[in-house]
Amino acid sequence: MKTILHVSCSPRGQSAESYRLSQMILGHLLQRDPQALVIERAIGRDPIQPIDEAYATSQQDSGDTSREGTMMKSEELVRELEGADCVVIGTPMHNMTVPASLKSWIDHVVRVRRTFEVTPAGKVGLLPDRPVFVAIASGGRFSGDRARQPDFLTPYLKAVMGMIGLLDVTFFSIQSTGSGQDAVAKARIRTGLELAGYFSSQPTDEG
Ligand SMILES: Cc1cc2nc3c(=O)[nH]c(=O)nc-3n(C[C@H](O)[C@H](O)[C@H](O)COP(=O)(O)O)c2cc1C
């Protein structure tokens, strides 16, 4: 049975626009594979504690001496990620980038000698690749001709997931949520069509 890891990062929980969009992505994935198991990792309302001193120190040393505190949490989150065939991240844009909740998850799963290795040629990811879908909600626009702010979210997530070996990252977004209900309704329709087009163009397991 396939496993989908759903990481939801908004403090608004299930009322969040990013949660809603990530549910639409999950809907498409489950339509293709109704038996898939969805593991929920809701970190927006129940944040992961930031990494502790022992964890940070162990990342500088040659060995991971800490087996307690946030190192334990890191191991739990890495195993959860390793066990997933596919990952769906629902996240708002906060201050032009990922919210603190998602950054904390990243600090736990992007770990030297565990999910990436440092080599003379640079950092090398240690996880086998798998699809990562990112559902973003933003108050304003961050892409296209009408973008009025820089986007540090999508290039950062692509780079940091790539660092651990996850190169197949696809982004969908609902932008301009701050422009009123009409704008949100239109954005939902547009992104819904985009999602339908994307998934209908993807080959199924049967070919
Ligand atoms: C702390 C904070 C920072 C934000 N920063 C941005 C930003 O930089 N750019 C933007 O377009 N919207 C920003 N927003 C607006 C949210 O991205 C927007 O309300 C989004 O729809 C929230 O998604 P959610 O419902 O999934 O939480 C910010 C919101 C908060 C609470």
Q: What is the CATH number of the domain that holds 78?
A: 3.40.50.360
Q: Which letter does DSSP use for residue 147 in this model? A: -
Residue 18 CA to ligand 1 center (angstroms) comes to 10
Q: Which letter does DSSP use for residue 139 in this model? A: S
Strands 122-125 and 116-119: antiparallel
Owning domain of residue 128: 3-201
Looking at residue 23, its pLDDT comes to 98
From 91, 151, 177, 184, mutation site for ligand 1 pocket: most ligand atoms within 8 A of C-beta: 177
Write the residue with the smallest CA distance to atom 2 of ligand 1: 94
Judge whether 207 lies within some domain. no
Rounded CA-CA distance 45/51 in Å is 18
* Contact partners, residue 79, CB within 8 Å, separation at least 6: none
Residue 98 CA to ligand 1 center (angstroms) comes to 10
Looking at residue 126, its pLDDT comes to 98
Looking at residue 58, its pLDDT comes to 85
Judge whether 42 lies within some domain. yes
Ligand 1 in reach of 8 Cβ (< 6 A): no
Judge whether 89 lies within some domain. yes
Residue 59's alpha-carbon distances to 67, 118, 168, in angstroms, are: 13, 11, 26
Judge whether 68 lies within some domain. yes
Could you tell me which residues are beta bridge partners of residue 133? 88, 170
Judge whether 206 lies within some domain. no
Judge whether 134 lies within some domain. yes
Ligand 1 in reach of 149 Cβ (< 6 A): yes
Looking at residue 64, its pLDDT comes to 66
Count: domains in the chain? 1
Judge whether 15 lies within some domain. yes
Which regions in the chain score pLDDT beneath 70? Answer: 62-66, 205-207
Residue 139 CA to ligand 1 center (angstroms) comes to 5
Looking at residue 149, its pLDDT comes to 98
What is the phi/psi pair of residue 139, to 5°? -65, -35
Judge whether 65 lies within some domain. yes
Looking at residue 207, its pLDDT comes to 56
Contact 108, 114 (CB under 8 A): no
